[in-house]
Structure 1
Amino acid sequence: MKLIVTGATGFVATELLRLAAKHAAITSVVTVSRSPVTIPEGAPAGKFTSVIVPDYDQYTEEAKRAFAGADACIWTVGVKTPNYAKVGHEEAVRISHTATRIGMQTIAAAGPATPFQFLYMSGATAVRDQSTKLEGPSSRSHLMRGDVENLVLAFAAEHAGFKAGSVKPGLIKKRAELPELLPTAEKNGWPTIALEDCCSAMLDVVINGFEKEPLYNDDLKAVA
């Protein structure tokens, strides 16, 4: 399998790369980032190809060539709810919605394998039904992220051979750090998942496909 990972220098993507480096079913990884990526220690020679982009809504010819023949993509780029107010709505839409759309268009035009599996990493609070009336300062963020999930499904429906879906994890922490978070999470009803389990599950999904869509926090734990 040839796998594309976007946002490759991020917290989640770094763990994805670590696991992909030693996964026998994944033979090639294309990392997409705005700055250089550190290749996991011990990775087989030639398994990783690095593509540096100006931003995730801008792709060079080099990037397009690197995407050719890819079997799957895990898209980790997007503005998370805690950062939404600081970034601002217009910029959050560009980073989350516009960049995802352009990324999917670029991959589709590059000539990926058929079928091609696209996994969008969303979040537990994202709301797809845009008519939902939400209250609170995070309401626009929840709806915006849910609308990206809608975009991903609509794009796949319009492109033969494209299969797509979203995963909706809760709070993600390294396994060793979870115990200190759990009391607060349980008190507030926040779902949590270990980084290692979340990433293992996402790799399983792009290799074997979505058994259901979307996959929520407990679904990811079950897959992992």
Structure 2
Amino acid sequence: MSRLKSCSRLSGSQSPPAQNAAASEIMLTTAANTGLAGAIATAYRAQKYLMHLILTGATGLVGSAVLDAMLKMKDVTKISIISRRPVKMAEDAKDPRVTTIIHNNFEKYDSDLLSKVEGAAGCVWALGISQTQVGKEEYIQITKTMTLRAAEAFQTLSTPAQPFNFVYVSGEGTTHTPGRFTPIFGRVKGETEVALSEMCNANPNFHASSVRPAFVDSAQHDSINKYVPAPTMTMQAMVLVLGGPIRCFAKGSWSPTEALGRFMTEMAMGKWHSQLEGPGIEKLGDFPVVRNFGFRRLAGLDKN
């Protein structure tokens, strides 16, 4: 069997075991034809080809932006959405790469669920809620507890050959040194970042990171606007009053969703792992925190 024929069997619509079997077939065939060095090189190419990503929070504003980016990237070969309910945007896409896994308890990940995301290279954790919509304890549960339980579970997907990239959607205003008047979101997200950094520093195969968007704005992102939740009256008023000035005069605080979704997807793919340095990037050991102006710099939004 030729190598070309073996490669043609790989597709994003295959299940993880089928993907792994196909990749193994490539390696075995190449080993027979070209020896160990060729097998290693081909294994690396096969691994890159099988770019399987996980997404949570796909019905929210940031999650919708990330899903749109994943759908547009041809080198993403499988998208596993973990959600409490069907995701309309995913259904409308009719893309064979997408699987929605209905899951009700985001604090528990059994072997059945983990088998469905086997082989995944990364996750964008966009699950979250505003501190104004729930009480303090529920906010902590959603923002911190659920995130950390998922990170613990997804660490088992990592290997030395394929580290797992866990991208946490945080936000500007987050701090690791809260004061008396720090809002609950800043305190809890900061605690979550610190806990993720401890996991990251303890496991070299677990590449966790955090992104802190600021004014998340989908005004120029028509492909997601019909899917995102309607903003509250207060939020609509704030966007109406502040949106224009931020876009024109305070761009360092502007997080346009199309660029943000693409950047987070690329982080989950590991494309930015070795470049997370410089202005706008903070480090907790091996754990990078990408501030909004750092995201804008890396994404090329401030070239002019």
**TM-score > 0.5 by shorter chain:** yes
Work out the CA distance in 1 between the residues paired with 2:132 and 2:124: 25
> Which of the residues 175, 179, 186 maps onto 1:127?
175
Q: Match of 1:53?
A: 103
Post-superposition CA distance 1:53-92 (Å, at most 9, x none): 113223354321122111001001123xxx3144111111
Q: Give the CA deviation at 1:170.
A: 0.3
Task: Tell me how far apart the structure 2 counterparts of residues 112 and 43 of structure 1 sit (CA, whole Å).
Answer: 29
Q: Letter of the aligned partner of 2:185 in structure 1?
A: S
Count residues in correspondence. Answer: 215
User: Displacement, 1:50?
Assistant: 1.1
Secondary structure at 2:116's aligned position in 1?
helix
Question: For the pair shown, which has the larger CA radius of gyration, 1 or 2?
Answer: 2
Alignment match of 2:131 (pick from 70, 84, 95):
84
- Of stretches 12-21 and 120-129 in structure 1, the one that deviates more from structure 2 is 12-21
8 Å contact from structure 1 (residues 68, 107) kept in 2: no
Q: Could you tell me which amino acid in structure 2 is paired with residue 217 of structure 1?
A: N
Distance in 1 between residues matched to 2:180 and 2:185, nearest whole Å: 10
Of the three residues 278, 292, 295, the one matched with 1:220 is: 295
Does the C-alpha gap of structure 1 residues 64 and 57 become closer, same or farther in structure 2, counting only changes over 3 Å?
Answer: same
Letter in 1 for 2:71: A
Contact 2:211 2:290 in 1 (8 A): yes
**Does residue 1:209 correspond to 2:272, yes or no?**
yes
Residue 193 in structure 1 maps to residue 241 in structure 2: no
Q: Give, in whole Å, the separation in 2 of the partners of 1:86 and 1:188.
A: 27
Q: 1:150 aligns with which of 194, 206, 216?
A: 194
Map 1:90-169 to 2 at 5 A: 90-109=137-156, 111-113=157-159, 114-129=162-177, 132-135=178-181, 139-169=183-213
1:122 alignment partner AA? S
Distance 1:165 1:199, change over 3 A: same
Find the aligned partners of 1:220 and 1:184 in 2 and give their Cα distance: 16
Q: 1:19 aligns with which of 52, 69, 90?
A: 69
SS of equivalent to 2:220 = helix
TM-score normalized by the length of structure 2: 0.64
Between the aligned partners of 2:146 and 2:168, the Cα distance in structure 1 is: 12
Instruction: Could you tell me which runs of 5 or more consecutive residues in structure 1 were left unpaired when the two chains were aligned.
Output: none
Cα contact 1:171–1:190 (8 A) shared by 2: no
The code of the aligned residue for 1:193 comes to S
TM-score of the superposition, structure 1-length normalised?
0.85
Identity %: 23
Indicate conservation of the 8 Å contact 2:124/2:167, yes or no: yes
**Partners of 1:209 and 1:27 in 2: CA distance:** 19
* Aligned-pair CA distance for 1:215: 1.1
User: What is the root-mean-square deviation of aligned Cα atoms in Å?
Assistant: 2.6
Gaps (5+ residues) in structure 2? 1-50, 222-238, 277-287, 300-304
Q: Distance in 1 between matches of 2:155 and 2:250?
A: 41
Letter in 1 for 2:267: V
